[in-house]
Amino acid sequence: MSRSMAALASALAAVCVAHAGTLDGDLERTMREAGENEAVSTLVFLADRVDLGALKTELRAARVSLAERHRRVLTELQQRSAIAQPALLAHLAQLKQQGLAEYEAFWLANCVRVDARPEVIRAIAARADVEHVFLNYRIELIEPVAAPPTPAAQKTPAYQQLSIPEPGLLAIRAPLVWSELGFSGEGVLVASLDSGVDGSHPALASRWAGVADPRYAGHPEWAWWDGIGQNPNFPYDALGHGTHTMGTITGGPPGDSVGVAPKALWISSTPNWQGQIGEFVSDAILIYQWMVNPDGDLDTHWDVPACCCNSWGLVTGHGYPPCDQLLWEYLDACETAGVAILFAAGNEGAQGLRRPSDRATTDYDTCAVAAVDANTPGWPIASFSSRGPTNCTPTGDPFIKPNIAAPGVQVRSSIPGGGYGPNSGTSMATPHITGVVALMRQACPNMEIDVIKQIMYETAVDLGDPGKDNSYGWGMVDAYAAVKRALELCAAPCPGDLDGDGDVDQSDLGILLADFGCAADCAGDLDGDGDVDQGDLGILLANYGQSCD
């Protein structure tokens, strides 16, 4: 027997098979197709992981600030990984020394990327400390629907001289937020996981946190993750996609007025998305792990973005099954830590939503954004915009998706090289929502993400079938109404205290449920929309257990 075969046999024999972990079905299929001598990339999730739902409830009851929430969540995640991972990592170190495995550990979801032959993967799955082993899928940028770019030299005099806001910004009433409510994203940091950003573009250059905020001096890596390795010190765009999406979030003077939150600062990243399908899910986890703590200091929060725009996803054609849970946990970790995660629904029309936008384990997971044509009266849904329903629910019953819509047809924004051009896609709609979240965070810095989402849903302009539907979701986002509602709730000392006793408790819940469905003069109308419905219940539950003192 060869030395490597003997080592492998020893490794297999050493594994405890009690309470064995589960091998994902797609991973089993991939290993069979690869053969026993071909290495397969996997993500090994340990059994001892943080209960993010319980932690979220605990933090809500404690009414902690956003900065304290961030510190406590990341501390818990890192400490749990430090306790749970050493035995597995020691085993993997031996396998690596023997040439049998490559690996990389993550604390954001307490998992480890393991690249190894099927025999080794099966042995690892059988360990008592392993819960589930997934295939490490490749991920894909959602390419926009083709539209001809407009070079900088072809800008109209109106845009050059007056910096008139784009039609999509007018449609969602962002300029009213700037002028009447006084919020334009100042003091808010936004992020994107995309193809990068042209850091020299006139609409974006002065807004890159790496130069705009002196606290980044000497540390460009806190504001830019270069997954390709082309320039780790200054942002660039490998494909052109990310400059367009970031422009819609925060682009503005001295460039054209293309962004929803033009005074917000930005950080960004570029995975290696050079081909149609680029890097792996593990690479996205690494970027999110950077994004939730760019400077590596748990006691600082100024470097952590309020929200992250995601214009990528997986479809069944990539071998990625509907409702697969691989992406869920590390996205939940980001949101529990206070970073809102927004996803493009996809450009597959009636074929359904991409992953993870198809997730509907709660009313808020995952926020999937549809695209409307804001250039046409009535704001029709884009033909390419992915439709619901989804069955990715705890019971498997259908759930209406997407969640909300925004302009996504012929959206004009920044393109690499200093110019501007139109693109279409849910990739263009999602940054509108990201910008609205940034405006809301400026208006109410400590507002919980679920409450932010509920406000956007409740204040959206209803389109299509009455109420929520499988094309528009709740409807077209209304930035002005959403920020105004956020201001009102933020000013209230304790939203949900209906009986005025200083606590949000069973008594308040009873008042709201007694009023549920009421359409006029309702005591339980917490969001001020004239009736008592799911939105009011969401606000009360978000504050349940709090003391108003």
Concatenated DSSP letters of 432-473? HHHHHHHHHHHHSTT--HHHHHHHHHHHSBP-SSSSSBTTTB
Q: What is the mean pLDDT of residues 199-222?
A: 97
Q: What is the mean pLDDT of residues 250-276?
A: 88
Q: Return d(Cα 338, Cα 199) in angstroms, integer.
A: 26
Concatenated DSSP letters of 156-225? -HHHHHH-PPPHHHHHTTHHHIIIII--S-TT-EEEEESSB--TT-TTTGGGBHHHHSGGGTT-GGGTEE
pLDDT digits (tens, 9 = 90+) for 25-59: 889 999 999 998 999 999 999 999 999 999 999 99
Least confident segment among 201-205, 324-328, 425-429, 526-530: 526-530
Q: What is the per-residue pLDDT for 151?
A: 39
% the chain with pLDDT above 90:
70
Q: Looking at the predicted structure, is the pLDDT value of residue 244 above 70?
A: yes
Tokens of 399: 């759930």
**Single-letter residue type at 455:** I
Query: Buried b / exposed e across 501-514, counting CB within 10 Å, b at 16+?
Result: eebbbeebbebbee
Q: Between these two residues, 135 and 503, which has the higher pLDDT value?
A: 135
Q: Looking at the predicted structure, is the pLDDT value of residue 318 above 70?
A: no
Q: What is the mean pLDDT of residues 82-110?
A: 96
Q: Looking at the predicted structure, is the pLDDT value of residue 158 above 70?
A: no
Q: Which burial class, exposed, middle or buried, applies to 519 when counting CB atoms under 10 A from its CB (0-12, 13-18, 19+)?
A: exposed
The values of phi and psi at residue 45, to 5°, are: -95, 125
The values of phi and psi at residue 402, to 5°, are: -70, -175
pLDDT digits (tens, 9 = 90+) for 383-407: 999 999 999 999 999 999 999 999 9
**Domains of the chain, start order:** 17-136 (no CATH), 141-488 (3.40.50.200), 494-543 (1.10.1330.10)
Q: What is the mean pLDDT of residues 103-123?
A: 96
Residues in contact with 214: Cβ distance below 8 Å, sequence separation at least 6, in sequence order: none
Compute the radius of gyration of the chain from its Cα atoms: 24
Q: What is the per-residue pLDDT for 528?
A: 64
The values of phi and psi at residue 196, to 5°, are: 105, -175
Q: What is the mean pLDDT of residues 477-504?
A: 87
Q: What is the mean pLDDT of residues 218-247?
A: 95
Q: What is the per-residue pLDDT for 274?
A: 53
pTM of structure: 0.86
Q: Looking at the predicted structure, is the pLDDT value of residue 129 above 90?
A: yes
The pairing of strands 307-310 and 340-344 is: parallel
The pairing of strands 265-270 and 224-226 is: parallel
- The answer to whether 219 and 225 are in contact (CB under 8 A) is no
Least confident segment among 9-13, 323-327, 430-434: 9-13
pLDDT digits (tens, 9 = 90+) for 269-281: 988 655 444 468 8
pLDDT digits (tens, 9 = 90+) for 512-544: 898 888 877 687 888 666 678 887 887 888 778
**Among residues 533, 496, 497, 190, which one has the least CA distance to residue 363?**
533
What are the E-state strand segments in 257-382?
A: 265-270, 307-310, 312-313, 340-344, 367-372
Summary mean pLDDT of the chain: 88
DSSP state of 42: E
Q: What is the per-residue pLDDT for 38?
A: 94
Q: What is the per-residue pLDDT for 206?
A: 97
Q: What is the mean pLDDT of residues 149-178?
A: 68
pLDDT grade for 163, boundaries at 50, 70 and 90: low
Q: What is the per-residue pLDDT for 139?
A: 76
Least confident segment among 1-5, 18-22, 363-367: 1-5
**Among residues 245, 258, 307, which one has the least CA distance to residue 434?**
307
